[in-house]
Structure 1
Amino acid sequence: MTGLPWAAFAANLAVAAGAAFAVMLITFAVARVKGVHRLVDIAWGTAFTAVALTTCALSAGYGDDGRRILVTAATAVWGLRLSVHIARRGRGHGEDDPRYARMLAKAPGSRDAYALRTVYLLQGGLVWLISLPVQVAQYAAVPLGASAVAGGLLWATGCVFESVGDFQLARFKADPDHKGRVMDRGLWGWTRHPNYFGDFLVWWGLFLLACGTMQSAAVAVVSPLVMSYLLIYGSGKRLLENHLADRPGYAAYTARTSGFLPLPPRRRPHPEDHRS
């Protein structure tokens, strides 16, 4: 079999959507009790993991076993690491995310109902859409080939880039001497968003892992395109930089540091540029 088993794949799409929305709805229930809607960020990676595990179970007997296991493991490693990192980062901080504070402040009527519609259900839909390579790959019956090797290397590079960037930032912020200073060390000296760039590589890598056939590639390509748009122009880079634009020292940091793709700093930073 070289094409996708369309009937089985269509059924998988429906069940995968159920898995993604189930994670979001459970998270909404917990967040409503705690009064902290930023918990949805923790659910993002977990929802992708749920979709991958669900698809792996449903695709047994259809796709190549090596590809099924590889894609499921890659998605789970990325998703669970991200969820754990966000949970640790936000521990004990309450509802201090400016995105959700602004969103809830303009809620017409019930804040919880507004959050459910505009955050949880929207993110559940995005998880389903962006996870298309994860779903498609597990129904591709052709053995792993050159595109899978390239995809695995790209995924690994992105995962390392994202993990190292998150670790460096967390360690920097944990030092009281760094309070009021802009992080521009390590990977953050080469790109203002090493975590987003890592995500970018991860999803293009998963797309290549899905490219067992032309059919699977055609279905899956929407995912990295949507993720790239979100990371660069949507809720990722653009939104964060708008929030940080007025912070003292940030303008100097942006002047010397690449906005997305890792590049050498334009000049050596002056100590005064770190102040905020």
Structure 2
Amino acid sequence: MIFADDMDVSVLYKSAALDLGIQWVGWAAAVVFSTEKFFDLAGSATYALLAYLSLQWGGGHFTRQKVQTTLVLIWALRLGSYLFLRVLREGKDTRFDEAKRNPAHFLVFWTLQAVWVFITLLPTLILNAKSRDRSLGFQDYLGWSIWAVGILLEAVADYQKSDFKADPENSGKFIQSGLWSISQHPNYLGEISLWLGLYITAAGVLSGWEHISIVSPMFVAFLLLKVSGVPLLDELGMKRWGNNPGYLAYRERTAVLVPYVW
């Protein structure tokens, strides 16, 4: 593979090594203490750390790089704190009930998180490794606008769900109000959108093979829609409310992801 002469490829190597190292150390600690409570926090912290360090390692410090990095930090702080507080409040993360009893199985989850972090962050890592820049333009503002819409969707959806679950009268019920009335997974729509926005902005200065980083939003969408997001929640939902005609009607009339489309 031929690398562009305006990109420091060592930024990618160092980021990948640090990413994997953090997740494996996290796995070791999680096994020792038999807990999954800091899994998401470790992932979010790794996003933030790699975004910041890649900016320092790249050395360009252009406006586009600094804005892009700041947006990743904002996202990581918001989502990381939300997920960590949620698992503390609920006492556990049911995704790992079986895995945390088997260290080898648990290692798979932590390793997959390392892969998730690196691939998702790839457009920003490549952008921060660039030593040449160009003036900001429409594509940059378009990408950042999509990011803004995405993080707003995600934050509002998370707030609405937390507020719903905090009400004792909603115990045992499923949410179908607010954004959740028009999409079964509005938080996932926001997550996919914001990473798409960051790729669009980064793509304005990418060349050749670097556009492989479009895999970032595609990978996020694949995992959320086909692997760890929608399938798991759908399975859990059917176990809880599969005999509830109201829940089945909600699934039938409400878009899975994009309101009024699909």
TM-score of the aligned structures, taking structure 1 as reference length = 0.84
Give the letter for the 1:58 counterpart: W
C-alpha displacement of 1:88 = 0.7
Q: 1:207–1:223: 8 Å Cα contact kept in structure 2? A: yes
Give the letter for the 1:32 counterpart: V
How many residue pairs were aligned?
A: 253
Q: 1:161–1:198: 8 Å Cα contact kept in structure 2? A: yes
Match of 1:121 in 2: 111
Deviations 1:153-201 (A, max 9, x none): 0000000000000001001100101101110110010101111110010
Deviations 1:113-152 (A, max 9, x none): 3312x11112112211221111122226223221110000
Match of 1:34 in 2: 33
Match of 2:249 in 1: 252
CA distance in 2, matches of 1:96, 1:80: 19
- Which of 177, 193, 197 pairs up with 2:189? 197
1:231 aligns with 2:224: yes
Gaps of at least 5 residues in structure 1 are 106-110, 265-276
> Segments of 4+ in structure 1 off by > 3 A?
3-7, 92-96, 102-105
Give the letter for the 1:100 counterpart: F
Gaps of at least 5 residues in structure 2 are none
Q: 1:16–1:51: 8 Å Cα contact kept in structure 2? A: yes
Q: CA RMSD in A?
A: 2.2
C-alpha displacement of 1:227 = 1.1
1:261 aligns with 2:258: yes
**Cα 1:263–1:43, aligned 2, differ >3 Å: closer, same or farther?**
farther
Work out the percentage of aligned pairs sharing the same amino acid: 28
Deviations 1:193-214 (A, max 9, x none): 1111100101100101111235
Q: 1:137–1:209: 8 Å Cα contact kept in structure 2? A: no
Instruction: Compare 138-147 and 232-241 and name the one that shifted more.
Output: 138-147
C-alpha displacement of 1:104 = 4.4
**1:33 match: secondary structure:** helix
1:181 aligns with 2:178: no
Q: 1:19–1:50: 8 Å Cα contact kept in structure 2? A: no
